[in-house]
Structure 1
């Protein structure tokens, strides 16, 4: 799976292949966040775009009997072949919704995602609880099972929706935006605001309520979709925390213990809002200090959405995007966080980050090199475990560069022996060392 962008904010062009771990580095104002958000938006709006495609193609499916529909095989193959292009075209018109701002800003922008579509022949081998699929004469036949909860008016559209959905392997996608610190801090205020909005809407007469909802949506649409999604997640936190991630269900204590080590306590949602108990792992005891999230450190606020994802949301096959995972973290915790992200990759979660952190990048390299250590010798490295060994083939790394006043991306060399070769940090470190040497030289001259 890879995506290409052109004229997306400050990013003139880029092509990025998504690995199990994807890293995007570069200077400030080089378009990294635009690229990350655009990729997120495609999967986030998947259902919305699929619905539009259904409306385009529904008339190609002809009802033969009560529960049997047919389509010419040639038409079905053509629909299947064009799906990626159609999805990309539909999504281009949604970039303003994803990135925020006026649509005119993105009139020259291009986004194209190449992704996996179910092989045409495999459609006949897929197990499905709703319909059987088989070939007959020159048609594809869909024999729909009886469903009491579907009326005759919507059964047609529902079937077409299922058919087109079955053609895709869809990733569940989650994002932790760089604005997460403020979103966590204003948890209570967000809930108050939501309740006030709902109260205001319900006080209107029935004839105006739809207009009021539309007006409200237009007001908040200036914010990028990842930010509004993070805000919605906070608003739905009582529902989210009633679930369990597959990490918790499988009792992966190595990941949970490392998460606790980074966070340094336990987040609590109660009648007082969002609180944090320092040094708490499970039960809150009298010795543990509990404080409101507004009074916590910036690192505690920054880590809240990651903690929420790992404990309550994570499922195998997810894509987790984090914009600047190092935000507000001490270098020690940046290193631990890099190990945690590697562990997530190794249990089946794709991770995509944009970062400025040399600590995180170097630790990824260490985890790649760690793969060369035998199980026996790994025991001598107390800081690491087998879940932190990273296969270089799973990693894709990119840095933004400026060529003749245009910003683009280039892939970065990665080897199993030496890890990741990222010049964007190494050049700065070497320059800093040279400057330090020059300063010491002038100190010595000044003292002579």
Structure 2
């Protein structure tokens, strides 16, 4: 399944397929963030508002979504037997129409995702394509429990049975429940639960005290998705979500993520040499060497930028979630950029999907190294141990989708071979700076050689003076 974007900000046309690890690299102002925000907005909205409610949001869509099913017959059987039995093979015929309708309605919502004027996105298009490529597995069991109904599909069965929790006679509500259950079965697994950290994350930490104030809470409440008010600063949905996470940090720490490996939950603290703490609702950073503690807003930019990622990994992440991370290299030393690349690959090998945008050649080169680890070669285990790699650091090409954003508003899928990404978008710049360095070195060397030649043609006294000058 692909996502197609047209005329969204700097993006003229883009086609993106999510992998376990999806990377978009390229020059500034080529639309990488527009792609990120568009994808995050869709997933966030669907997770908070199931498809059936989303599609019925406009009055013109208060009608059944899956139309191949004879719902009058189902309603009659329900009144007689008290159970709803759906033929999933019949419902599957409607999926193209469902995602087409979803695409149309989400396109209309883009202005709210970006908190932009409708005119700025008048020509925008967002499409979900390739639903026909999905092969649905009817051999496994499926269970869904909600506040209104339970749905069960037995192994090797093509029928989904729905049991309502209360006596419901409203036909429209039953239609709603049917559509909701079908969406959960067919599509929900392809729309993972998203979490985003934008490039503004370090700056947001600076205003923790203001965000915790009554003014901050009231202002941000009015800035939630699709309910923006004119007198509140305009915030794109991902940034508003970042702010919400910062405000709710003291609540977040009351739960635990599914990750159990200490090397994952403390990884960021280890590479930065700090310990993150929440004390009386305030974020505190403690130096592991000196044990000196500072409020988060007084710590270094790199430390601030990764605090929320640490909290999410330790306390909130769940298997199958999708982490959107704008510029993971933000304010990191090259050595730590390499460690960040390893963390991202460890995450996908432990059940968390990752989507990043980057300008870092260090990240890309380390991804290439981990792609090469997927090859078989002599003494592989010994070499991995020597270089400090573990099995969790192996990146398989089938899990990795890399795209290059171009200045004309398009993106292209990067070719990957056994040595990694063939063209990252950074190569031309690296070649150019090397050429510049070589020319400067050559110019300096020519001057030095010329002076040595001049030295060899002068008399002894002059040679002695020049020799001392050359030696400094």
**Range into which the TM-score falls when normalised by the shorter chain:** 0.7 to 0.9
Q: Which residue of 2 aligns with 1:408?
A: 410
Residue 286 of structure 2, aligned match among 241, 253, 277 = 277
Counterparts of 1:23 and 1:178 in 2: how far apart (Å)?
15
User: What do residues 258-294 of structure 1 show as CA deviations (whole Å, max 9, x unaligned)?
Assistant: 33322321221122621111117xxxxxx51110011
Residue number in structure 2 paired with 1:306:
309
| 8 Å CA contact 1:50, 1:165 repeated in 2 | no
TM-score of the pair, normalised by structure 1: 0.83
**CA separation of 1:59/1:217 partners in 2, compared to 1, >3 Å: closer, same or farther?**
farther
CA distance in 1: counterparts of 2:325 and 2:426, whole angstroms: 19
Task: Tell me what 2:6 maps to.
Answer: 6
What is the Cα-based RMSD across aligned positions, in Å?
3.3
The number of residue pairs the alignment matches comes to 419
* C-alpha contact (below 8 Å) 1:2/1:15 kept by paired residues: yes
Q: 1:214 to 1:421 in 2, by over 3 A?
A: closer
Q: Which runs of 5+ in 1 are unaligned?
A: 135-139, 202-209, 281-286
Aligned to 1:206: none
Q: Give ranges in structure 2 of 5+ residues lacking alignment.
A: 57-61, 452-472
Any idea what SS the aligned residue of 2:196 has? strand
Structure 1 Cα separation of the partners of residues 436 and 41 of structure 2: 42
Which is worse superposed, 125-134 or 92-101? 125-134
Partner Cα separation in structure 1 for residue 280 and residue 309 of structure 2: 22
Q: Partner of 1:122: helix, strand, or coil?
A: coil
Alpha-carbon distance, 1:434 to partner:
0.9
Residues 1:395 and 2:388 are matched in the alignment: no
The answer for the alignment partner of 2:180 in structure 1 is: 161
Q: 1:392 to 1:123 in 2, by over 3 A?
A: closer
Q: Which residue of 2 aligns with 1:99?
A: 114
Between stretches 163-172 and 3-12, larger displacement belongs to: 163-172
**In the alignment, what sits opposite 1:431?**
432
Distance in 2 (CA, whole Å) between partners of 1:415 and 1:257 is 33
Could you tell me how far apart the structure 2 residues matched to 1:219 and 1:147 are?
A: 43
TM-superposed CA distance for 1:325, in Å, is 0.6
Q: Distance in 2 between matches of 1:439 and 1:133?
A: 71
Indicate yes or no: 2:395 matched with 1:377. no
* Aligned-pair CA distance for 1:335: 0.5
Distance in 1 separating the partners of 2:266 and 2:283: 22
Q: Secondary structure at 1:381's aligned position in 2?
A: helix
Check whether the contact 1:8–1:110 (CA below 8 A) recurs between aligned residues: yes
Q: Are residues 1:332 and 2:341 paired? A: no
1:108 corresponds to: 123
In 1, distance between residues paired with 2:17 and 2:139? 26
Does 2:253 align with 1:241?
A: yes
Corresponding residue number in structure 2 for 1:268: 277
Instruction: Give the structure with higher Rg (CA).
Output: 2
Distance 1:179 1:11, change over 3 A: same
Change (3 A) 1:411 1:5: same
TM-score, length basis structure 2: 0.79
Q: Give the counterpart of 1:254 among 251, 263, 286.
A: 263
Kept in 2: contact 1:322–1:352 (CA 8 A): yes
Tell me the residue number matched to 1:181: 202
Task: Quote the residue 1:442 is aligned against.
Answer: 443
What's the counterpart of residue 458 of structure 2?
none
